[in-house]
Structure 1
Amino acid sequence: MASIKLTINNQVRTLDVDPEMPLLWAIRDVVGLTGTKFGCGIAQCGACTVHLDGAPTRSCSVPVSAAASSKITTIEGISKNGDHPVQKAWIEHQVPQCGYCQSGQIMSAVALLKQNPKPSDEEIDTAMQGNICRCGTYNRIRQAIHTASATISAAPKMPKSTPKIGKR
């Protein structure tokens, strides 16, 4: 056992765990954030996708010790009230069927839209490759990503710096 500090959803947590424990189990069993799902255990299905420093990563294959210096974001960390544009688009397009793959699908879609705010169908398909949906809602997933893209693109942009008011 080792004392490992993880930053999960902007909160620093110190865990006393085996350094080789998969990050997935630290997130689910030790921290108690159960939105990230176990699917295959070999990084092939995408159900366990989280963001490590913004990049979609299969948490079932990353030792907790390898994530200690990263900023980890789980499905619980993308919005406080489930109102991220991707989550809203998922509901609008009725993407979830059984729902098991959805947190991983959403995490991959959020990462895609941060990197590429207006992806083409081909870019969506490439980015979402490896996220398996047993229910086959891939067309709805693509539609939802386009809807979220439009919502994000239409949102007012915050200025990078605030002009100083007062003395000149």
Structure 2
Amino acid sequence: MASVSLVFDDKQNAYLRELSEKMNLDFGEFIPHVTLINVTEQDMPRLKAAAAALPVLGRLVLDGVNFLPDKAGNCVWVELRTQKTAWMVEARQQLLAALDGIHPGLDVDGFRPHITLGCVEAGTLDDVNMSAIPGQLPVITEPRAAACYNGVHGKVVEVVE
């Protein structure tokens, strides 16, 4: 699996990994990101070109926490919601057009922008340290679109430069 995702600078990545750890979440090594589109074919030259063609996004606003049970009921994913902006809708339209034929029947509005922080086993939500979340979530500045390799559970494991 591969994707075009928004990725962040080292300082912002460190903040998100530290937040995951402080919240007692189990996500292992991950590269924080917001997925714009997942594709089943790993055509990296095409993905890199599509990512490079996107306009620059000045900031990404985080606006809350989501808890999403997996389909099997084994775990609950913990995510930071990001505002779904006109930029994201336009970027997704552009990606769908540029990657026609290698995405699995996606549409423009069928995505929820978020940053996954980790997961916990079902029934252990009390172990999540919600006090680690600051009263005001930071704004992520200058996220950039990049082609990425995805590992297990859609975790970005490599950003392709």
TM-score range, shorter chain: under 0.3
Instruction: Name whichever structure is richer in strand by fraction.
Output: 2
Name the TM-score, length of structure 1 as normaliser: 0.26
Whichever structure has more helix as a proportion of its residues is 1
Greater RCO, CA 8 A, separation 6+: 2
